[in-house]
Amino acid sequence: HVLKAEGIAIDGTVKLLPEGSRPDLSGLETYARFRSPDLEKLMIQTNRRSDNLFAEHLFKSTAFDFKGFGSAANGEAAVKDFFLRHRIDSQGLHMVDGSGLSELDRISPRQLVGLLGVMWEHPNGQVFIDTLPAGGEGTMRYRLNDLVVRAKTGTLNNHSGLSGYVVSSYGQTLGFSILVNDVQATWPAVELQDYIVKMLTNWTQPL
């Protein structure tokens, strides 16, 4: 009905497939082909611009690679499998989407810091780290631009998060995750996050 209302003609019937089933593409003819930019470029758009649409597609693509169908449940299963293989506790983790827009999503700062630690030592870790916005860049445009920091922001009504890496005065890179929930306004939470990160930069001893 929506397509017809916009003047888009449909010749044939619409078939709804049960979740988990794969469409039969045999007999179809290719009229055009589009090659996606490489994964690193997609991650840069996702992380630096906080592009929720890209995040959803990457999540569903991961789900497809893991179990052959791009559902949220399979995406969550893929993340939990990664956590298990890298000895990150997944208790309480719940993902109903890839963007984090749902208030049903659940993840703890400890789990995020565990993930940051794994990625710091991962063979492709530097690629991931470089996709995170630095201070004064992307969603960090007006934040922490005088520090050596790369971090991902996350904002919902009454919720704010900041997770990433910062270099301390000792010269050590520290992983951090600061999630603030159920606040009347997010700006005080943002100010608190920035204050904590600045305190981390003043750390003069190895951790």
Supply the CATH number for residue 139's domain: 3.40.710.10
Establish if 139 belongs to a structural domain: yes
HEC string of 135-198 equals CCCHHHCCCCCCCCEEEEEEEECCEEEEEEEEECCCCCEEEEEEEECCCCCHHHHHHHHHHHHH
Residues 159 and 204 in one domain: yes
| pLDDT of res. 25 | 82
Residues 134 and 183 in one domain: yes
Residues 122 and 195 in one domain: yes
CB 105 within 8 A of CB 75: no
Establish if 51 belongs to a structural domain: yes
Give the span between the Cα atoms of 184 and 199, in whole angstroms: 25
| pLDDT of res. 108 | 99
Establish if 124 belongs to a structural domain: yes
Residues 201 and 112 in one domain: yes
| pLDDT of res. 20 | 75
What does the pLDDT look like over 75-119, one tens digit per residue?
999 999 999 999 999 999 999 999 999 999 999 999 999 999 999
- The total domain count for the chain is 2
Radius of gyration of the chain (CA): 20
* Boundaries of domain holding 88: 37-107
What does the pLDDT look like over 20-32, one tens digit per residue?
777 788 889 999 9
Residues 159 and 172 in one domain: yes
| pLDDT of res. 21 | 77
| pLDDT of res. 18 | 83
Which segments in the chain show pLDDT lower than 70?
Answer: none
Establish if 154 belongs to a structural domain: yes
Residues 198 and 121 in one domain: yes
